């Protein structure tokens, strides 16, 4: 038995193309199956363009955009955790609940980061 995944054998351009395909499939799955992901995308479609119409420095604008994108990353991880937990078992279990609750807590923190970053920049 080899300690390496047979899916890791690609190199160069082929690996990049495969990784891009997997990423796009992940975005599609999240968008199609996760309401929270769609809500975060909607929030980003409002906040990111709005950041271009607010008189702030380039660094502040970059920070405003970055924290919005961070919430997408956190939601993707949260959705992945939920999918893995559900794949293992739909049976109620304290560890499964903890994993899902911690993913939710991470998303809550990322939304708080958006809120406080925007408030601090806008009302400094």
Q: Is 82 annotated as a binding residue?
A: yes
Alpha-carbon distance 34 to 81, whole Å?
12
Q: Confirm or deny that 15 is annotated as ligand binding.
A: yes
34 belongs to an annotated ligand binding site: yes
Q: Are 96 and 85 in contact (CB under 8 A)?
A: yes
State yes or no: 110 annotated in a binding site. no
The annotation status of 101 as a binding-site residue, yes or no, is yes
**Residues identified as active-site:** 75
User: 96 labelled as ligand-binding?
Assistant: no
CA distances (Å), origin 81, targets 64, 97, 106 = 26, 11, 12
93 annotated among ligand-binding-site residues: yes
Nearest to 74 by CA among 16, 34, 119: 34
Whole-angstrom distance, CA of residue 100 vs CA of residue 46 = 27
- Known binding-site positions: 15, 22, 34, 75, 82, 91-93, 100-101, 104
Q: Which residues are annotated as a binding site for a divalent metal cation?
A: 34, 82
| Binding site, annotated residues for substrate | 15, 75, 104
Binding-site sequence positions for ATP: 15, 22, 34, 82, 91-93, 100-101
């Amino acid at each position: 038995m080899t300690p390496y995944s047979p899916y890791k054998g690609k190199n160069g351009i082929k690996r990049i193309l495969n990784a891009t395909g997997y990423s796009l499939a992940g975005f599609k799955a999240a968008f199609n199956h996760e309401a929270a992901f769609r809500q975060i995308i909607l929030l980003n479609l409002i906040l990111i363009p709005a950041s271009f119409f607010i008189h702030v420095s380039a660094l502040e604008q970059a920070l405003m955009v970055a924290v919005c994108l961070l919430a997408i990353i956190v939601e993707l991880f949260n959705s992945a955790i939920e999918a893995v937990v559900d794949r293992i078992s739909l049976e109620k279990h304290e560890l499964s609940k903890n994993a899902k609750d911690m993913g939710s807590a991470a998303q809550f923190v990322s939304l708080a980061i958006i809120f406080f970053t925007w408030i601090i920049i806008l009302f400094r």
